[in-house]
Amino acid sequence: MLRAKNKQSYSCEVDRPHSSGSFGMRFIVGDGEQLKGRLQDFPASWVGDFLTSKMLVIAVMNDASIAAYGIRGLLNVTSLYVKREYRHRGIARQIRDVAFNEARRRGMHFLTGEVTFRLLSSKYGRVLSSEFRCRVVKSLKKRKSALIVFPLTMKGDIAYVFLRMVFSIMPSKLLEAISSWISRRTLAQP
């Protein structure tokens, strides 16, 4: 069910069962500034990521924010955080689904992220690659992670090919420096 709040934000309420069998989780979509009040009990290191988000999805249960998925910057860099006591219940998958659908609705063509090798080789990583066509752009061995792109449209596929080409000719050390700079730069944006 969608309820319009204003032109920029709306509340998307979805009741889905969790591993405990309970219902009542809903998702709130807006940007970092609009939803900053919902971030007050998240770790400070994550709040900075989410405040600069041009799109932020927050999972709410019993009126408490339990997870957030933010998209920020020119390259649509994604960040996901689920509070420790709510992990391993499928909440990350649910909030990711809402975020991807909203990103498509808003006309975003691709999302990017950095994923650890361990996560990429897990069941979750296999779901990402099959269900969402997640594609590895470049492996960052020193950071034990990979840069990934989620193409959402045909233009996203073209962006993936372009990024793959650029990153394939770029030395890993330079790419790691650029990745760190992009991360810091997108966090510094108002």
Last residue of a domain, one of 47, 81, 107: 107
Q: Which of 17-31, 53-67, 152-166 has the highest mean pLDDT?
A: 53-67
Q: How many domains does the chain have?
A: 2
> Is 60 within 8 Å of 28 (Cβ atoms)?
yes
What DSSP state is assigned to residue 142?
Answer: G
Please tell me whether residues 139 and 89 are part of one structural domain: no
Please tell me whether residues 102 and 137 are part of one structural domain: no
Query: Which pTM value belongs to this model?
Result: 0.75
Please tell me whether residues 54 and 138 are part of one structural domain: no
Instruction: Provide the residue range defining the domain that includes 181.
Output: 109-190
Give the pLDDT confidence of 53-96 residue by residue, as tens digits: 999 999 999 889 999 999 998 888 898 999 999 988 889 889 98
Task: Please give the distance of CA 164 from its chain centroid, rounded to a whole number.
Answer: 20
> Is 28 within 8 Å of 14 (Cβ atoms)?
no
